[in-house]
Structure 1
Amino acid sequence: MRRPLRAHGYRTAAAVALACALTAATQQVARADPMTLTEVRAELQRLYHDAEVATDKYNAVDVQVTEQEKRVRTLNAQVKAAETRLTGLTSLAGAAARAQYRSGGLPAEVQFALASDPEHALDNASLARQAQQSTQDVLAALAATRKDLRTRTADASDVLTRLKKNRRTMDADRKTIEQHIATAKKMESSLAAKQREQLAALEAKTAKDAQAKWVGTGILKKVGTDATAAGKKAIAYATRQLGKPYVWGDEGPDSFDCSGLTSQAWLAAGVTIPRTSELQWAQLKHVPVADMRPGDLIIYFSDASHVALYIGDGEIISAPRPGRVVYVSPAGSMEILGVVRPDA
């Protein structure tokens, strides 16, 4: 999940909204009755969802910076290679000109007139002119290429500078989100033991009910049950990560966010996919939910802010949110936006 956050006004408004939601949720915890716990759960979900959206934006811009740095390095290397070649060809052209000068520097027509073998002289003169023209053409083309590469490098460097500026701006947003997450964790831990049990039971019941409704549509009778060879490798990788903590912005090996887990799982299967859930939704092949198979990715929520790896039998492996670990959960426990297939 990575991408630049919007304008400063948006970030300020979002921060104020989160702070207000958090204050309201804290006040609700203080009252602590069953209905209040329902409201607290809703506020926590909104808080973590907003944090996940911000994570996706941050991850996206971080990926853009990394890719742009690679482009700049590649262009710089190409400029250097072009300059080295141009220097070498220029030196060779100069050496050829000096050699021609030492031979007398006579025009080809004069050499033809004085030659004992006019036909051979004509051949030599024609080849010499062709060689000279070819050398000049190559030098001109290479000089143009060098100029173009320098322009492209300068443009790419400007883009990189802007992206890095965006990332620096987002560092402050990252700290704000981390503070919100810490506050949310503190709010959860401040609940009495019985309240925490009730909250956990409420979450479990909500997930179970959502899954039952999803399964009740008969969807599991339609979906595929066999993963491809690559899909099996992705599932095996994700399975090995069970129990590792969610840390936003991480992609292993010790901790993951949701898209960090899915992108690394498929990378282990030999398939490179976008880093963020939003880009996975935007760029990978969409398949109908009824046609999905183990190894496919399920994208959640209308803003594509969460993603999980479908492993079959109506279950997913995902890195859910801060304070949780990579785990197996019901595929229908959250709002499904759609399904994408990395190895289509």
Structure 2
Amino acid sequence: MGTGKRGLLTAAVTVVCAVTVLAAPGTAFASPTPTPTASPGASPSPSPTPTLPPNKDLEKVRERLDDLYHDAAVATDEYNAAEEKADKQSAEIVELAKKIVKGQKKLDGLKDRAGAAARAQYRSGGLPDEAKLLLSDDPGQFLDGAGRVLQGQRATKDLITEMTRTQADLRQYAKDASAQWDKLEANRKAKAAAKKKIEKQIAAAEQLEDRLKKQEKKKLAELEQRAALKAQTAWLDTGILDEIKGKSSEQGKKAIEFATHQIGKPYVWGAEGPDSYDCSGLTSQAWANAGHPIPRTSQEQWKRLGHVEVKDMRPGDLIIYFDDASHVGMYVGDGAIIHAPRPGRTVTLAGAGSMPILGVVRPDA
């Protein structure tokens, strides 16, 4: 095997192995550059500690927690989007690696054919077929030979053309693989940044809650329930429920059935089941189980799925919440949704109007 072939095959195998490692869940990545160390005597920057509002105003605590968990939800969508892109790019790199291996084998075969033709000419004394024809005394043999010469010329031309095209394809595959690798690295960094942001927001929220006494935590939970009920009541008071009369599609029924069976499982950011979910992990898996895959993140679900008016929604549709489309729940009828709320909570039923509604999307529109 020649050096060039070994190099391409080794590169292709290395790409496949590396992508497999990059795509593996839970893989830890080394920092691309050494982490700077603090100079002697310098004190490390302390992590910001969330402070309780004056007099421990629990309503302000609730609002602060809402903000922290909302920011964590936005970062979770960023993380999920980066992960989805990285998975796609990993798959594309693997396919390109396969094409490189296949193209190299094809090129080797073409070179073997070219070598065989050269050896045949050498065995005939190196005399071109045209010269042999001129020296022939047999007109019939001359005409037969002339046809073979033309065929040979065309075959040689086709062989050279095919070799050139195959070499160009290999160069393009290598270029495409390099570009996809750069994108994969960029999305790896985006995932790492989003993960850091999520963990920071959740840690701040947990620290804030940990500073509350038992009775204060109980009161805080009551405030959360009261705020959700107030929002739901205001939504129902508009009379919207009288207008919502849509019937679920067959796929919608399957999606609802799947989501219902997940009730009680914990929220974990970035999770897509089967033991835990984040908000869009639940909705995307429910519809995938119904045989209709949809985008992974709530923001992409809002962008790419068909929009319907709230009054026209039907069970199985997805309600997108907040102006930045950072949360999603599945409408199940009677003014209720199933959703994965936030860290520390489980998949549950809730009022469809308990959060600010951005709009409704229909996966099987």
Shorter-chain TM-score tier: 0.7 to 0.9
Give yes or no for contact 1:47–1:184 (8 Å, CA) kept in 2.
Answer: no
CA offsets per residue over residues 125-176 of structure 1, 9 Å max, x none? 2211111111111111111111111111112222222332333444433432
Does residue 311 (structure 1) correspond to residue 332 (structure 2)? The answer is yes
Report the residue type matching 1:217 in the other structure: T
Does residue 165 (structure 1) correspond to residue 165 (structure 2)? The answer is no
Q: 2:155: which partner in 1?
A: 131
Q: 2:322 aligns with which of 294, 298, 301?
A: 301
Q: 1:177: which partner in 2?
A: 201
Q: 1:99: which partner in 2?
A: 120
Give yes or no for contact 1:252–1:261 (8 Å, CA) kept in 2.
Answer: yes
Q: TM-score, normalised by structure 2?
A: 0.79
Per-residue deviation, 1:191: 3.5
- Partners of 1:306 and 1:223 in 2: how far apart? 22
Give the alignment of 1:226-237 within 5 angstroms.
226-237=247-258
- Partners of 1:90 and 1:290 in 2: how far apart? 68
Q: 2:98: which partner in 1?
A: 77
Q: 1:186: which partner in 2?
A: 210
Q: 2:169: which partner in 1?
A: 145
CA offsets per residue over residues 302-323 of structure 1, 9 Å max, x none? 0111111111221110000111
- Partners of 2:249 and 2:197 in 1: how far apart? 40
Gaps of 5+ in 2: 1-46
- Partners of 1:296 and 1:111 in 2: how far apart? 80
Q: 1:90 aligns with which of 104, 108, 111?
A: 111
Worse overlay, 143-152 or 92-101: 92-101
Report the residue type matching 2:154 in the other structure: Q
- Partners of 1:330 and 1:184 in 2: how far apart? 26
Give the 3-state SS of the residue equivalent to 2:324 in structure 1.
coil
- Partners of 1:196 and 1:148 in 2: how far apart? 61
Report the residue type matching 2:280 in the other structure: S
Give yes or no for contact 2:248–2:314 (8 Å, CA) kept in 1.
Answer: yes
Equivalenced residue count is 317
- Partners of 2:275 and 2:208 in 1: how far apart? 23
Gaps of 5+ in 1: 1-17, 30-35
Worse overlay, 58-67 or 130-139: 58-67
Per-residue deviation, 1:197: 4.3
Q: 1:23: which partner in 2?
A: 51
Give yes or no for contact 1:234–1:265 (8 Å, CA) kept in 2.
Answer: yes
Give the 3-state SS of the residue equivalent to 2:331 in structure 1.
strand
Identity of aligned residues (%): 44
Per-residue deviation, 1:55: 1.8
Give the aligned CA root-mean-square deviation in angstroms: 2.4
